[in-house]
């Protein structure tokens, strides 16, 4: 007799712990790349570092682990930064707007700049690249005195890669790897055994789970628990979910493009969305509310983000409609 999973079980199989375990098993390789880039810079060779990962992949956690030895507090672009003055305000006090002054300031105070969520320096509209261009100018002008370590959301990075070849500005680019089926299976079985449960699933279950979710750990975790049931003798039965998102094909062109904009800009509020899709803010509010009702996006501090646990399915649909192009 199959039952719902007990709350105690779902609480004890948290995504956070899964991500940490995954980071532990993958950190060495990324650390090697990071230390090589750092070593190059210390030897007066041009060097800068970019870490690229989806939301829910633990991008900034990895960045913190990589730079922990240097003990540098990261700077963050928490929300959209649309002009160069605001960007300068993030990396230096007000009043320093000449590149040479900024370089000297960073040379004196930091030398190593860790900048998280750089995708927020871009808004996909005319005039929305000012902060990003300023960042790239300052980084290019200061590479011999400052080591730049940055993190980027992957879909925004891919958009920037396609339109302006952003990767050429960084000597080292590390993409957070998708989780492999064997690795996921090992992680899950280990955690379940620790809780005193057993697991049952069809052959190929984890292969299908990772393939349907492009190896995105948070998405795998969501679908894994969605259809899981408790059966006798403390066994968990993992059923194959359908991975379907209802109602997406009913979205009109404007709503679909709003969804694309949320992905490519990594979160927007109604006023920013109105600049991106050229609609009134009130209309954008309605669109965002509709996307929320459909569970396609979530809201955090007034900013709407794509629901990262169903991102792979949303991307599948949008790729089919030729709205986004992702080779992952």
Partner 1 sequence: MTGEHLMQILTLSNLIYGIMVLLAASLLVRYANNASRFAGRHLGRKGHWLEKLTVIIKFTVYAVALYIVVVIVFQPSREASIALLGGMAVAIGFAGQNFLENIFAGIILLFEHPFYVGDRVTAGGFHGDVININVRSTRIKTLDNSYVTIPNIIFIKEGVKSHNAGHISAMVTMYFYFRHQVDVKLVKQILWEATVTSKYFFPKEEVKILIREKEWYSQFVVKAYSVDVRKSESFRSDLIYNAKMAFQNYDSIYPDWGKVLGGEDGKVTGD
Question: Least distance (Å) from partner 1 to the CB of residue 296?
Answer: 17
Question: Least distance (Å) from partner 1 to the CB of residue 63?
Answer: 27
Question: Least distance (Å) from partner 1 to the CB of residue 128?
Answer: 7
DSSP, res 52: E
The Cα 166–Cα 84 span in angstroms is 18
Question: Least distance (Å) from partner 1 to the CB of residue 226?
Answer: 25
DSSP, res 169: G
Residues that bind partner 1 (CB under 8 A): 124-129, 159, 162-164, 257, 260, 276-278, 320-323, 325
Question: Of 60 and 125, which CB lies nearer to partner 1 in the complex structure?
Answer: 125
Total number of residues shown for the chain? 328
The Cα 121–Cα 189 span in angstroms is 40
Where does residue 61 fall: left (phi above 0), alpha (psi -120 to 50 degrees), or beta otherwise?
A: alpha
Please say whether the beta carbons of 71 and 29 come within 8 A. Answer: no
Q: With CA atoms as reference, report the closest residue to 303 among 83, 93, 117.
A: 117
Please say whether the beta carbons of 28 and 147 come within 8 A. Answer: no
Question: Of 128 and 178, which CB lies nearer to partner 1 in the complex structure?
Answer: 128
Question: Least distance (Å) from partner 1 to the CB of residue 4?
Answer: 34
């Amino acid at each position: 007799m199959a039952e719902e999973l007990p709350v105690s079980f779902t609480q004890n199989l948290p995504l956070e712990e899964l991500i940490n375990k995954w980071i532990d098993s993958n950190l060495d390789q990324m650390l090697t790349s990071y230390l090589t880039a750092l070593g190059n810079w210390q030897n007066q060779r041009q060097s800068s570092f970019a870490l690229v990962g989806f939301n829910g992949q633990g991008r900034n956690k990895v960045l913190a682990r990589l730079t922990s030895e240097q003990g540098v507090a990261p700077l963050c672009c928490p929300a959209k930064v649309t002009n160069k003055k605001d960007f300068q305000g993030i990396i230096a006090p007000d009043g320093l707007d000449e590149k040479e002054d900024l370089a000297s300031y960073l040379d004196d105070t930091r030398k190593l700049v860790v900048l998280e969520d750089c995708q927020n320096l871009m808004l996909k509209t005319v005039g929305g690249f000012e902060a990003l261009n300023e960042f790239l100018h300052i980084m290019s002008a200061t590479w011999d005195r400052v080591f730049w370590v940055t993190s980027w959301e992957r879909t925004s990075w891919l958009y920037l890669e396609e339109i302006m070849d952003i990767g050429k500005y960084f000597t080292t680019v590390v993409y957070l790897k998708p989780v492999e089926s064997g690795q996921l299976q090992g992680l899950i079985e280990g955690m379940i055994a620790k809780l005193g449960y057993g697991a049952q699933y069809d052959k190929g279950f984890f292969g299908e789970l990772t393939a349907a979710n492009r190896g995105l750990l948070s998405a795998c975790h969501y679908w894994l628990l969605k259809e899981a049931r408790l059966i006798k003798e403390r066994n968990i039965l993992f059923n194959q979910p359908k991975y379907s998102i209802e109602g997406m094909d009913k979205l009109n062109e404007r709503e679909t493009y709003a969804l694309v904009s949320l992905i490519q800009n990594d979160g927007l509020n109604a006023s920013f969305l109105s600049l991106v899709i050229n609609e009134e803010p009130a209309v954008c509010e309605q669109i965002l509310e509709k996307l929320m009702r459909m569970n396609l996006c979530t809201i955090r501090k007034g900013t709407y983000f794509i629901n990262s646990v169903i991102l792979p399915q949303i991307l599948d649909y949008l790729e089919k409609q030729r709205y986004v192009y992702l080779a992952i």
